[in-house]
Amino acid sequence: MRHTLSLVLLLALLAVTPGRALAQSPVSFNTSPQAISINALYNGLDLTVTGEIPAASQVVVRLAGEPTTFTMKEKGKVLGLLWMNLDKVSFGGAPKVFLVAASEGVPGETVAKLGVPGLAERITVTTKDADKAGLLAEFLKYQKSEKLYRENAGTVSLGPDSGDVRTFSAVLHVPSRLSPGAYSVEVLAVKDGAVVGQSATAIAASFTGAPAFLADMAFGHGTLYGILASIIAILGGLIVSRIFQGSKSGAH
């Protein structure tokens, strides 16, 4: 229920985009895969988005995670000498992941408004520091360095106009540091720098296999998980100790 409400809020938030009236023209698309499985071998994946947009328009494709609150420590100099953690800073309404890819014909300022810089209008900063804009800029820079926020997160190709529509195909590079939860894939048709149509769908990411087992143990059977973790750590230490003892006795 919580994920459903969060996703509804996410879609409503993403619907508030710059440009003229939205959903003026039809936009349809499909994603592959339709759900993301985070298994023991997961190291990121390519999310393919194909569909149709109005003729003579360009396209922007976005993948966004649930809005959440990031709480961080602000660093600063104490007495002008030592760098230390100071007050807490909270960034509210920030998506866990925000990936954007646009076709070549989309103006740069439009990509900025629909991309990572545009998040500055939706993220709230709670801090005692007066320089909220500076802190927000550093937060966005940090998220980009972690590859969780990206403006060139993939490739987009457009087909020729066919009547009132044109086809498109996009590939978004989803990062390996993806957490389970609800995500939104959104396609926006852009013409003359304005959004003339859009459509969105939900996509879920979930643990499977060994990660799912470990997560269930950690959150559902905490005591047993702690005991097993301790046993594994002890056995690992003994094995490493034996290996080093063997290597020393064999050395001459």
- Please name the amino acid found at residue 13: L
Top pLDDT among 77 and 104 is at 104
Same domain membership, residue 178 and residue 85: yes
The answer, yes or no, to whether residue 6 has pLDDT greater than 60, is no
Q: What is d(CA 67, CA 198) in angstroms, rounded to the nearest whole number?
A: 20
* Residue 100 scores a pLDDT above 70: yes
* Alpha-carbon gap, residue 50 to 171, rounded angstroms: 9
For residues 107-127, b (16+ Cβ closer than 10 Å) or e, as one string?
eeebbebbbbebbeeebebeb
Q: Are residues 127 and 193 in the same domain?
A: yes
Mean of all residue pLDDT scores within the chain: 81
| pLDDT exceeds cutoff 80 at 65 | yes
pLDDT bracket for residue 88 (50, 70, 90): confident
Tokens in use for 105? 């014909």
Q: pLDDT of 11-49, one tens digit each?
A: 444 544 433 334 456 899 999 999 999 988 899 999 999
Residue 165 CB burial class (10 angstroms; 0-12, 13-18, ≥19): buried
**8 or 237, higher pLDDT:** 237
Determine, yes or no, domain membership for 214.
no
Total count of domains within the chain: 2
Helix axes 210-220, 222-249, angle to 10 degrees: 120
Q: Please name the helix (run of DSSP H) or strand (run of DSSP E) that holds residue 246, with its range, or none.
A: helix 222-249
| Sequence-distant contacts of 210-218: CB under 8 A, at least 24 apart | 210/39, 210/40, 211/38, 211/39, 211/40, 211/42, 215/180
pLDDT, position 213? 52
Distance between CA atoms of 75 and 135, rounded to whole angstroms?
11
Q: Where are the beta strands (DSSP E) in the chain?
A: 28-32, 35-38, 45-54, 58-65, 67-78, 82-95, 98-102, 124-126, 149-150, 154-162, 165-174, 181-191, 194-207
Contact partners, residue 168, CB within 8 Å, separation at least 6: 29, 50, 51, 52, 53, 59, 103, 156, 157, 158, 159, 187
Q: What is the tens place of the pLDDT at every residue in 161-201?
A: 999 999 999 999 999 989 899 999 999 999 999 999 999 99
Query: What's residue 194's pLDDT?
Result: 93
pLDDT above 70 as % of the chain: 68
What confidence tier does 229 reach under pLDDT thresholds 50, 70, 90?
low
Q: Which of 59-63, 165-169, 208-212 has the lowest mean pLDDT?
A: 208-212
Domain that holds residue 134: 2-207
For residue 18, the model assigns a pLDDT of 39
User: In the chain, what is the straight-line distance between the N-terminal and C-terminal CA atoms, in Å?
Assistant: 66
Pull the structure tokens for residue 70.
């990031």
In a domain, 63, yes or no: yes
The length of the chain, given as a count of residues: 252
Q: Are residues 46 and 168 in the same domain?
A: yes
**Is 27 part of any domain?**
yes
| Domain match, 73 and 116 both | yes
Query: Residue 17 CB: number of other CB atoms within 10 A?
Result: 19
Q: Is residue 213 part of a domain?
A: no
Both 202 and 226 in a single domain?
no
Q: Is residue 95 part of a domain?
A: yes
Confidence at residue 128, expressed as pLDDT on a 0 to 100 scale? 84
Backbone angles phi, psi at 105, to 5 degrees: -80, -5
Q: Answer yes or no: do 20 and 145 share one domain.
A: yes
Considering 69-73, 131-135, 159-163, 212-216, the range whose residues carry the highest mean pLDDT is: 159-163
Percent share of the chain, pLDDT over 90: 57
Is 119 a domain residue?
Answer: yes
Strands 194-207 and 35-38: parallel
Whether 119 and 231 map to the same domain: the answer is no
Express each pLDDT in 129-146 by its tens digit. Answer: 788 999 999 999 999 999
**Pair (228, 194) in one structural domain:** no
Task: Please give the pLDDT value at position 5.
Answer: 46
State yes or no: pLDDT of 8 exceeds 50.
no
Are 142 and 88 a contacting pair, CB within 8 Å? no
Question: Are 134 and 232 contained in the same domain?
Answer: no
For 21-52, b/e burial (b = at least 16 CB within 10 A) is ebebbebebebeeeebbbeeebeebebebbbb
